[in-house]
Amino acid sequence: MKNTKVKHHRRKVIRKKTCRLCENKIYDIDFKDVELIKRFQTEGGKILPRRITGNCFIHQKKLTAAVKRARILALVL
């Protein structure tokens, strides 16, 4: 008898997206920390949305503020 049971291997990789900044215990994002800021930007200099980075609300807000300040000083795009 043919085994008709079709095994779907579409199991979603449920990876708990944790905020990397919380994980690394970074509570204040320094706008001078260009390397850090750039990690959360696209190549074009856009801030990556939270659903992509997995940042928590607090850090996303802090990041946005840091990016804005860094932009004024032309540290980042």
Q: Using CB under 5 A as the criterion, which residues of the chain lie in contact with Zn ion when the complex forms?
A: 19, 21-22, 56, 59
Least distance to Zn ion, CB of residue 57, Å: 8
Q: Which residues contact 37 (CB under 8 A, 6 or more apart)?
A: 29, 31, 63, 66, 67, 70, 75, 76
Least distance to Zn ion, CB of residue 60, Å: 8
Closer CB to Zn ion, residue 4 or residue 24? 24
Least distance to Zn ion, CB of residue 18, Å: 8
Tell me the residue nearest to Zn ion as measured from the CB.
19
Q: Between vectors from CA 44 to CA 39 and to CA 50, what angle results, nearest 5°?
A: 50
